[in-house]
Amino acid sequence: MSSFLLTLPFIKQGAGAKSKKFIINYSFRRFFRIYPLYSLYLLLGLITSIALWKIVGLDKPLGYPFVLSLKGFFEHLLLIQGKGVTWTILVEFRYYFVLPILALTYSVILKNKLFPSVALTISLIILSQLIWPQSESKADGYRLGPYLPIFFMGALLAVIFHKWQERKMNENKKALIIVEIIGIFAAITLIFMIPSVSTYILEREIAYTHYHKHYIQFGFLWSVVVFSCTAGIGVLRKFFEISFLRYLGFISFSVYLLHVIVLKVFKRVGLEIPMQGWIMLVVTIVISHISWTLIEKPTSKIRWTKFSGKGH
């Protein structure tokens, strides 16, 4: 999703995407989308690791969201280490450095031509898998390489969507219906491949024990779903446009980071109450809303005025 959304402006801008103003604004927005909340999240881990265990009288460090040393704090900030759920930030932010190169290749060198872009993307996916093959290794969680196919698919999707709009395919009712049907089928397949769902239906476990470890399969299926949402007749799109789901999308980064703290606090306190899972979800949403309102929303509006221009 992020690769698709961030590549699309490069594709639409064409040759203009190589301007210094465009690249700097891209970098500026990416930094302030991630780092303010991420830095505070790590700072909380560092402070609680240093002081909290002494305050509550424990014999070893206790950190929220995790135990973090000063060295670990800076290694996380510099994208050297990823602990807990922060491994995804390490991976995604590293890709932010790759994305402009690939996007400019599509828009400037290949002129957004569909078949050369498809050929390049497939070649890059094959090459990345030869160098960094999919595996269940824990070390893969700290490397960008194994996850590149997902990002490449999202980038190619931006080119495909741009050509779809350019050729006014949204006026072809038959094409819209076909795209929608394929998207719904992909969504159903993804739901079935969730381990708990497939285990319940088949009454036995299947191979997808680690959902995110099968990059190519899930990357392709989610690409189909995203394309269907943007280019279909609107069935899937209407579902994802439900106000509450859109709201969860706004606060999703806070939810992703802060739910770990909520889970850890409940576990530490040892509460066993009815509907505990739902209560934890509500608490997570509440604190995530506060985080989004006080941190994410204000910092997302920060612009470097020297380079910002109309439409950027």
Q: How confident is the model at residue 307 (pLDDT cuts 50, 70, 90)?
A: very low
What was the pLDDT predicted at 274? 85
What was the pLDDT predicted at 311? 42
Closest CA to 105 of 18, 22, 26: 18
Q: Distance between CA 266 and CA 269 in Å, rounded?
A: 5
What was the pLDDT predicted at 136? 59
| pLDDT tens readout for residues 165-182 | 999 998 899 999 999 999
Neighbours of 303 (CB within 10 A): 14
What was the pLDDT predicted at 310? 47
Handedness of CA 191, 195, 201, 206 (dihedral sign): positive
143-152, 155-164, 250-259: least confident range: 143-152
Q: Distance between CA 290 and CA 190 in Å, rounded?
A: 32
pLDDT over threshold 80, residue 80: yes
The three-state secondary structure class of 210 is coil
For residue 86, CA distances in Å to 67, 100, 137, 242, 269 come to 13, 23, 17, 28, 24
pLDDT over threshold 50, residue 239: yes
What was the pLDDT predicted at 138? 57
* This prediction's pTM: 0.87
Q: Are 7 and 102 in contact (CB under 8 A)?
A: yes
| pLDDT tens readout for residues 206-236 | 655 455 556 788 889 999 999 999 999 999 9
More confident of the two residues 179 and 269: 179
pLDDT over threshold 70, residue 7: yes
What was the pLDDT predicted at 312? 42
pLDDT over threshold 80, residue 204: no
Q: How confident is the model at residue 196 (pLDDT cuts 50, 70, 90)?
A: confident
DSSP for 104-159, written as a single string: HIIIIISTT-HHHHHHHHHHHHHHHHHHS-----GGGGG-SGGGHHHHHHHHHHHH
Mean pLDDT across the chain: 89
| pLDDT tens readout for residues 29-48 | 999 999 999 999 999 999 99
Structure tokens at 89: 């930030």
Domain extents for the chain? 1-167, 169-241, 242-304
Closest CA to 217 of 312, 298, 153: 153
What was the pLDDT predicted at 241? 93
Q: How confident is the model at residue 52 (pLDDT cuts 50, 70, 90)?
A: confident
pLDDT over threshold 70, residue 133: yes
What was the pLDDT predicted at 140? 55
Percent of the chain with pLDDT over 70: 92
Q: What is the dihedral of CA 79, 159, 114, 102, to 10 degrees?
A: -20
Q: Are 145 and 132 in contact (CB under 8 A)?
A: yes
pLDDT over threshold 60, residue 94: yes
